[in-house]
């Protein structure tokens, strides 16, 4: 596809956020907070970074993405639709009983979804498998795994991190969405995983800290990651839960709740600013 500039990517991220609000509002359920916090990261991945072809969603040498925090499917679906994997109009069916766009991504039903996710903590193990397969088959695709900072409280994440280091998975890039909130409160209140960067570094990862809403920083981080050899990379993206909607920002209550009509209108008005 034609390479998008910074401003165009920012505009695309804005559209992704609008779609997220539309999806959750129409469904009367969903997870807007964490979806809004990863909108910029997913925008850079799908519209600039990843080697993908919407016309060939199962292309053997395509780059892969595992949305380990699968409850944030509104953001993923929005990116896939805007990228051309399916009709944008289908986003209106999000979470409908007969829709293929269910609350968690299903790789057998949704074009462009590389891994069925939703059970937290398992995504990095799946991404490891994809990365190992790429090396075994001498293919040069890259694998991206997006984890929640609450999700990394799961022990399986750290078992997978050890494996990624053992097998020197330099074709693997982990992104931690560090918005500091999970369903029950702040990360510190529930089960602190800080310092996240030092933990991943101790597990043998190259670690990059960025502002997860700065498009230029995100682009540069992925460029650095591609040039790291002999070990996996972890990008710690400092983000804001509910980014772009003032009454949702930094509010744990918006982890999994749909806006009412008044809130919906306010949210769309703010995102368009």
pLDDT in tens, 239-249: 999 999 999 99
**Tokens 């609000």 sit at which residue?**
21
**Taking residues 98-107, what's their average pLDDT?**
98
Query: What is residue 72's predicted lDDT score, i.e. its pLDDT?
Result: 98
Query: What is residue 1's predicted lDDT score, i.e. its pLDDT?
Result: 57
Query: What is residue 237's predicted lDDT score, i.e. its pLDDT?
Result: 98
Identify the band that residue 194 occupies on the pLDDT scale cut at 50, 70 and 90. Answer: very high
Q: Domain 6-271, what architecture?
A: 3-Layer(aba) Sandwich (3.40)
User: With helix as H, strand as E and coil as C, how does 18-63 read?
Assistant: HHHHHHHHHHCCCCHHHHHHCHHHHHHHHHHHCCCCCCCCCCCCCC
Q: Contact, 30 vs 99, CB < 8 A?
A: no
Query: What is residue 84's predicted lDDT score, i.e. its pLDDT?
Result: 98
pLDDT in tens, 56-80: 999 999 999 999 999 999 999 999 9
Query: What is residue 197's predicted lDDT score, i.e. its pLDDT?
Result: 98
Write out the H or E segment, with its range, that includes residue 126: helix 123-136
Long-range contacts of 192-197 (CB under 8 A, 24+ apart): 193/149, 193/152, 193/153, 196/149, 196/152, 196/236, 197/234, 197/236
Query: What is residue 3's predicted lDDT score, i.e. its pLDDT?
Result: 77
Count of C-beta atoms within a 10 Å radius of residue 236: 22
The residues that bridge with 236 in the sheet, in sequence order, are: 176, 209
Q: Contact, 82 vs 88, CB < 8 A?
A: yes
Q: What's the Cα-to-Cα distance from 103 to each of 79, 111, 122, 208, 242, rounded to whole Å?
A: 15, 15, 17, 31, 18
Closest residue by Cα to residue 44 from 92, 70, 83, 91: 83
Tell whether the model's pLDDT for residue 2 goes beyond 80.
Answer: no
SS3 content of the chain, % helix, strand, coil (to 5): 45, 10, 40
> For 186, which DSSP code?
E
Where is pLDDT greater, at 272 or 270?
270
Closest residue by Cα to residue 26 from 14, 34, 18: 18
Tell whether the model's pLDDT for residue 199 goes beyond 80.
Answer: yes
Tell whether the model's pLDDT for residue 162 goes beyond 60.
Answer: yes
Long-range contacts of 10-15 (CB under 8 A, 24+ apart): 10/215, 12/43, 12/47, 12/82, 13/39, 13/40, 13/43, 13/215, 14/244, 14/271, 14/272, 15/78, 15/82
Identify the band that residue 273 occupies on the pLDDT scale cut at 50, 70 and 90. Answer: low
* Per-chain mean pLDDT for the chain: 97
Tell me the two tokens of residue 171. 């074709």
**Taking residues 210-234, what's their average pLDDT?**
98
pLDDT in tens, 36-52: 999 999 999 999 999 99
Identify the band that residue 212 occupies on the pLDDT scale cut at 50, 70 and 90. Answer: very high
């Amino acid at each position: 596809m034609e390479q998008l500039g910074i401003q165009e990517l920012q505009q695309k991220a804005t559209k992704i956020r609008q779609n997220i609000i539309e999806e959750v509002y129409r469904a009367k359920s969903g997870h807007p907070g964490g979806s809004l916090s990863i909108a910029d990261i997913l925008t850079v991945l799908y519209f600039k970074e990843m080697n993908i072809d919407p016309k060939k969603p199962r292309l053997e040498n395509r780059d892969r993405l595992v949305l380990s925090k699968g409850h944030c499917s509104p953001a993923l679906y929005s990116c896939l639709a805007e990228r051309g994997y399916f009709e944008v109009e289908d986003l209106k069916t999000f979470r409908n009983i007969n829709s293929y766009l269910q609350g968690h991504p299903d790789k057998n039903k949704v074009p462009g979804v590389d891994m069925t996710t939703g059970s937290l903590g398992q995504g990095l193990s799946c991404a490891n498998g994809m990365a190992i397969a790429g090396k075994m088959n001498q293919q040069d695709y890259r694998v991206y795994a997006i984890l929640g900072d609450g999700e990394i409280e799961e022990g399986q994440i750290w078992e997978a991190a050890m494996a990624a280091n053992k097998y020197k998975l330099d074709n693997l890039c982990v992104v931690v969405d560090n918005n500091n909130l999970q369903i029950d409160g702040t990360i510190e209140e529930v089960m602190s995983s800080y310092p996240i960067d030092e933990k991943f570094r101790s597990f043998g990862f190259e670690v990059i800290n960025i502002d997860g809403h700065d498009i230029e920083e995100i682009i540069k981080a992925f460029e650095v990651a591609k040039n790291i050899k002999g070990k996996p990379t972890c990008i710690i993206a400092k983000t804001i839960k509910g980014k772009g909607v003032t009454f949702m920002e930094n509010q744990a209550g918006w982890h999994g709740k749909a806006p009412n009509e008044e809130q919906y209108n306010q949210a769309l008005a703010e995102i368009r600013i």
